[in-house]
A and B are shown apart, each in its own frame.
Chain A
Amino acid sequence: MSDRRVPLTTDGGAGTVHTPAMSDAALEDRALLDRAQDGDMEAFEALVERHEDRLYGLALRMTRSEADAAEVVQDTFLAAYQNLKNFRGEAAFGSWVHRIAANNALMRLRHQRVVDAVTEELRAPEFTERGSLAEVPEVDWSRSADEKVLDEELGRAIRQGTDALPEGYREVFLLKDVEGLSYEEISEMMGISVPAVKSRLHRARLALREEIDAFYKEV
């Protein structure tokens, strides 16, 4: 083995979820994938079982509809199966199916999208005339992100807050901050510029931060 350095996972809060080096899970996926590519359907079903929950979670948060989410997951695995032979495996199976699912969900949303003019609905911090923060945060809840168990009520508030993000903002937030896609990938998938992706992401984070802050103020 060479002593080439393994890239460290950068998770400075807004970082990505995917580790650059192949995890054990990804290696197991690779083994299953090899078998599935040789026609072993049990191996393919095992891959489905390993990824269906996370795919469903993504699809549900993107489409906000259980029926649509179920269809997205179904179509995604079918597409994955049909393209199994073409999958070269530079990427992990997980990221591959997540990208298929994200594209699929985006296509569904495109039909029902009413873009822009919605930014007024986004919550944002308030400032005084002189540009100072109008409200000094009362509770420092930033550490709760590292606690072992996520508060049930907080989880619900975050899901509602995410669902309430306007179309276009919600997808960017999910794809970047939950799925760990790059700005360039999202820009390409959604057909908007990288600066637009960043600006929507920032607005979405600010809005969600306000939701969480409001949750802690009520507790």
Chain B
Amino acid sequence: MFTCKDSIHSLLEYVDGELSEAQAAELREHLRACPPCVDFLQSYKATPKLARRALVDEMPRELAGKLKAFLRTKLPSK
């Protein structure tokens, strides 16, 4: 029997569109009958999106200044 465990196990390939037609059909059939897995899939897809937004860091200005000064010692001035 195709379980939630099987469903979650196949999510990466499902999202990538890499499941075989038979596997995808099996998963879709499970999803139709299993709202928790549908929610899980939504949140699985949302995770990288949220991470991309959360992981934007600015370089501290002090470091940026140091970087510029360092590069100036290495680059020929023209």
Contact = CB atoms under 8 A, between A and B. Distances in A.
Interface of A: 12-14, 17, 39-41, 44-45, 48-49, 52-57, 60-61, 66, 70, 73-74, 77-78, 81, 125, 127, 130-133, 136-137, 140-146, 150, 154-155, 158-159, 162, 173-174, 177-178, 198, 201-202, 205-206, 208-209, 212-213
B71 A78 contact: yes
A198 B11 CA distance: 11
Interface residues of B, number: 46
A15 to B, nearest CB: 8
12 contacts: A40-B78, A45-B68, A48-B67, A73-B67, A127-B5, A130-B3, A131-B1, A145-B50, A177-B51, A178-B52, A205-B44, A212-B43
Given A57-B56, A70-B63, A158-B55, A150 B43 contact: no
Interface of B: 1, 3-6, 8, 11-13, 15-16, 36-37, 39-40, 42-60, 63-64, 66-68, 70-71, 74-78
A62 to B, nearest CB: 11
A17 B53 CA distance: 11
A201 B12 contact: yes
Given A61-B55, A127-B3, A209-B47, 7 more contacts: A12-B45, A53-B57, A70-B67, A81-B71, A131-B1, A150-B53, A174-B55
Contact of A177 (B4, B40, B52, B75): B52
Contact of A159 (B3, B47, B55): B55
Nearest to A160: B54
A136 B52 contact: no
6 tightest CB-CB pairs across the interface, nearest first?
Answer: A131-B3, A13-B45, A177-B48, A158-B54, A57-B57, A142-B42
Contact of A13 (B37, B39, B49, B58): B49
A149 to B, nearest CB: 10
Contacts of A125: 8, 40
Contacts of B37: 133
B16 A14 contact: yes
Most buried by A among B43, B70, B78: B43
A150 B57 contact: no
Contact of B74 (A49, A81, A141, A145): A81
Contacts of B16: 14
Nearest to A131: B3
Contacts of A53: 56-59
Nearest to A42: B78
A144 B46 contact: yes
A52 B66 CA distance: 12
A218 B63 CA distance: 36
